[in-house]
Chain A
Amino acid sequence: MSFIATDIHVRYGPREALRRVSLTARAGELTAIVGPNGSGKSTLMGALTGTLPFDGSVTLNGQDITRQRPWQLAAQRAVLPQDSRLAFDFPVIEVVRMGLQAGTAGDRPEVPMQALARVGLAHYATRSFHALSGGEAQRVMLARVLAQVWEPVADGQPRWLLLDEPVSSLDIGHQLQVMEIARDFARSGGGVIAVMHDLNLTALYADRIAVLAGGDRLAFGPPTEVLTDGTLSRAYGCALRVSAPPPQHVPYILPHAATP
C-alpha cells in the first residue's frame, strides 16, 4: 500500500511550480522531501493532500484522491501545515480534539489527551492556544494530526502522516522527539511524508529522500544514494560536502566553502 504521485504538474498562473514530478511513498517508511526555498515542496504537499488543482494523478492506498470526499481522505491521512494559525483562541485540548472529526477515533475520547502526552504537552490541555510559543503551537498541531490517524494501521490499510516542515521551529531536543514520533508511526505500519530543511536530521531518519529544485525532481532514493556532493550542490547552488563518519556511516553534510 502506498501513496503514489505520478507526473504532478502545477502552475500558478503562467509560472510552473512543479514539472512532472513523480514520487512513491511506501507504508512503513519515512519519505522526506527536501530542496531550497521555493523549489515546490509545499506545492507538492498541496497536490498530495488535494488542496491544489494539479495535472497528473495521486493515488492513496490505491484510490484516486480526486474522486474521494474530504471525510474519506481525512480518515486515511492527516496533514500538518507549514504554519499553525488559529483564528479564535481555543483551549489546547479542543484544538487536538478537532482531529477527531473524521470519525476514525471519534468514539475514543481518551485519544486527544494521549496525543498531547505523546508530544510532551499533556499538562497544557487547558491552556489557551494563543498563549503558546511558536514551537509549542507546532507540537499541539502535531498532536491534533496524530489524533486524527491514531492507529497507524486500521482495517488492514495504512494511515498516512503528511508533515510540512514538522520541526521548523523546534529546539534540537524536540526536533529529535518529533522525528522519533514520525519514525515510530512508520515502523508501526503507517506511512510518513515529511518536508524537511535540516539535511542531517533527514539523513538520520528518512528511508527515502526526494530532492526538488526549481520545480524539478533532481533525485529520489535512499539517503546514501541521494545525499551526494554533486546532487546537493546542484540543488542548493552552493558547495556542500557529504561525509559518512563511522561507526554508522549515516551521511553527514557540511558547508564546503565555509570561511571561518
Chain B
Amino acid sequence: MASLSDIALAPSRPARLHLWLAAALVLAALASLQVGAADVTLSALAGKFMRGEALSPLERLILWDIRLPRLAMGALVGAGLAVSGAILQGLFRNPLADPGIVGVTAGGMLGAILAIVLGGLLPAAHLARTGGQLVPLAAFLGSWGATLLLYRVSTRGGRTSVATMLLAGIALAALAGALAGILIYMADDQQLRDLTFWNMGSLAGASWPKVLAAGPLVALALGAAMTLGRGLNGLAMGEATAAHIGINVQRLKTAAVLCAAAATGAAVAIAGAIGFVGIVVPHLVRLAAGPDHRTLLPASALLGATLLTLADVIARVIVAPAELPIGIVTAVLGAPVFLWILLRRKGGLA
C-alpha cells in the first residue's frame, strides 16, 4: 500500500536515473576516444599529460580532429533521434512511432539523393560555394520540406489531425522512395556507392563544421523538447481530455512536430538514415522509469547519445582497420529489440 510519504519521495528517482545515464555517457565517451584505427590510447595520452609532455601533432590530429568530432556527432545524432522518437510516440500516442514514419527521414533521403545524383550536374563554382556540404544541406531541406508539407496537409481550420499526418507520412515516404528509385536508376557507380553508404547511415564523415552546423539546431530542439513533458503526458488521455486539463493542444502539437523535425532533420543531414534509435531508446527508458515524459525526454537524450556512441565504437572495432556503417550496427542490435517489443505488447497495435 502506498503512503503519502512514498509518493512525496518519488521525484528523486528520475534525478538518480539521469545521473546514472550521464555517468554511462561519460564512460561511452571515454571508450569512443580510446579506440580507433590508429594506435593512440587515452592512457598513453594521459601519461604524457601527467609528465608534462606535449602531444605529438599526429596525436593531436587524431584526438582533436578525428575522434572528438566523431564522438560529438554520434552523441548529437543519438540524442536527437531518441528524443524525436519519444516526442513522436507521445504525439501519436503509439510507442511504435518513429522519426521514419512522419516522412522526415524519407524527405531527408530524397534531398540527399538529389544532391548526390544531380549535384554532379551543377557548375563547379556553385558547388564550391556550398563548401562540400551540399548533401547534408539538401538532406536537411528535404526533411523540413517533408515535415512542413505533412503538417499543412493534416491541418484544417487550425486543427492538426494526427491520424492524417501518420497516413500522409506513409504516402510521402512511398513517393520519396519512388523518386529516389528514378534517381538511383540515373546514378553512376560512384554515386551509387555514396548513396548506399548514406542510406545505411554513417558517422565516418565526422568533422567540426558538421558538428557546428547540426549542434545548435539539435541543442535548440532538445531544449525545447524538455518543456513538452507535461503536455505529452496529458495527451496520453486523448486530445480532448488534454485540452480539458488546461493544455493548449494545438500549440503542443506544433511545438512537438517542430522539435522532432529539427532534431531528426539535423541528424539525418549529417549522419544519414540511422534506424531503430528512435524506437528502441524511449522504449528502454519506459521499461526502466515508466512513461512520464518529464523523465522520458531527458533520459532518452542521454541514453540515445550513449547507445549511439557505443554502436559507433562497435562499428569501428568489429572489422578494424575498416569500419561498418553505423546504421548496420543499430539495425542488427535494434531490430531484434524492436521485435521483442512487438511480441511483448499485450493489446496488439491499437
Contacts and interface: CB of A to CB of B under 8 A. Distances in A.
Nearest to B93: A87
Given A85-B237, A85-B238, A87-B236, A51 B292 contact: no
A246 B245 CA distance: 43
B188 interface: no
Contacts of B286: 88
A101 B234 contact: yes
Nearest to A50: B243
Interface stretch (A24-32, A89-97, A165-173): A89-97
A126 B249 CA distance: 28
Contacts of A101: 230, 234, 245-247
Given A51-B240, A70-B249, A98 B233 contact: yes
Interface stretch (B3-11, B169-177, B203-211): B3-11
Given A81-B240, A81-B241, A98-B245, A91 B4 contact: no
Nearest to B293: A88
B7 A93 contact: yes
Contact of A93 (B2, B236, B246): B2
Nearest to A75: B246
Nearest to B292: A94
Given A88-B95, A101-B234, A125 B7 contact: yes
B248 interface: yes
Contacts of A99: 245
A73 interface: yes
Contacts of A89: 290-291
A75 B246 CA distance: 8
Contacts of A123: 1-2
Nearest to A83: B238
A93 B234 CA distance: 14
Nearest to B251: A70
Contacts of B93: 87-88
Contact of A81 (B7, B94, B238): B238
Interface string B238-260: 10110111111100000000000
Contacts of B94: 87
Contacts of B1: 123, 125
A15 interface: no
Interface string A63-74: 000000111011
Interface residues of A, number: 37
Contacts of A49: 240, 244
Nearest to B232: A88
Interface in A35-91: 46, 49-51, 69-71, 73-75, 78-79, 81, 85-91
A142 to B, nearest CB: 13
Nearest to B286: A88
B240 A70 contact: no
Given A79-B241, A94-B292, A70 B7 contact: no
Interface string B89-124: 000011100000000000000000000000000000
A4 interface: no
Contacts of B290: 89-91, 94
Interface of A: 46, 49-51, 69-71, 73-75, 78-79, 81, 85-91, 93-95, 98-99, 101-103, 109-110, 112-113, 123, 125-126, 130, 148
Interface of B: 1-2, 4, 6-8, 93-95, 230, 233-238, 240-241, 243-249, 286, 290-292, 346-347
27 contacts: A69-B248, A70-B244, A70-B246, A71-B247, A73-B244, A74-B245, A78-B245, A79-B241, A79-B244, A85-B238, A87-B93, A87-B237, A88-B93, A88-B236, A90-B233, A91-B290, A94-B233, A101-B230, A101-B234, A101-B246, A102-B245, A110-B4, A112-B7, A113-B4, A123-B2, A126-B2, A126-B6
